[in-house]
Chains A and B, each alone.
Chain A
Amino acid sequence: KAGVTQTPRYLIKTRGQQVTLSCSPISGHRSVSWYQQTPGQGLQFLFEYFSETQRNKGNFPGRFSGRQFSNSRSEMNVSTLELGDSALYLCASSPGQGYLNGYTFGSGTRLTVV
């Protein structure tokens, strides 16, 4: 059974540019959550998608957005990149609503903004 796949693994972007990250959840999982991981802040929740709808959103500016497709794959977009956006972006897959048996994380996309 394939795990959670995130692409690309690494990205280097320039300030002001935009970036799109992709996450394919485990087959059959309908919920995808996104987290930003930085050394000082741990895992910060960005948003969760279920059945193509954003169900929860963290405290990030509007430059951070996402979407989910009918096959449950999800993308997140960051526009007008800032140096502080440099981080590891992790997506987490779970079967869905009310599921309380833990996430399966992808390997992440490491974004560096220069």
Chain B
Amino acid sequence: GENVEQHPSTLSVQEGDSAVIKCTYSDSASNYFPWYKQELGKRPQLIIDIRSNVGEKKDQRIAVTLNKTAKHFSLHITETQPEDSAVYFCAASRSGGYQKVTFGTGTKLQVIP
């Protein structure tokens, strides 16, 4: 089955700096890669996603890149703010049939004011 590895497990950055979280996946058939943000005590929420026919996607301060050959994808947050502090999860899944979504183990991001 699919295996998703996520690094780092914790990340501290100064406010205004950039943060990068990286994930690798094992199933070459995976074609959908969402990212979720989970603030303390709250539910995970989808913040951005990318499909395998796209190499990069941006949404304001957040961007995701995908390298299908190397089977890795990354989340980039620029100009970090204290409200970006949360646990971020990457995930991978594939279309067709009843696929399950496999999550990474999460990255706890702390933005220091």
Contacts and interface: CB of A to CB of B under 8 A. Distances in A.
A105 B95 contact: no
Chain A: interface residue count, which band?
20 to 34
A33 B102 CA distance: 12
A43 B89 contact: yes
Contact of B98 (A55, A90, A103, A105): A55
Contacts of B34: 102-103
Nearest to A44: B103
Nearest to A6: B43
A94 to B, nearest CB: 9
Interface in B68-89: 89
A100 B95 contact: yes
Central interface residue in A35, A90, A97, A103, by most chain B CB within 10 Å: A103
Contact of A50 (B43, B44, B98, B103): B98
Contacts, number: 58
Contact of B43 (A41, A42, A48, A90): A90
Given A42-B106, A108-B43, A98 B96 contact: yes
Given A42-B89, A98-B95, A56 B44 contact: no
Interface in B15-55: 31-32, 34, 36, 42-46, 49, 51
A56 B94 CA distance: 13
Interface of A: 33, 35, 41-43, 45, 48, 50, 55-56, 58, 90, 92, 97-98, 100-108
Given A56-B100, A107-B42, 10 more contacts: A33-B101, A35-B103, A42-B105, A45-B101, A55-B98, A56-B98, A90-B44, A98-B97, A100-B93, A102-B49
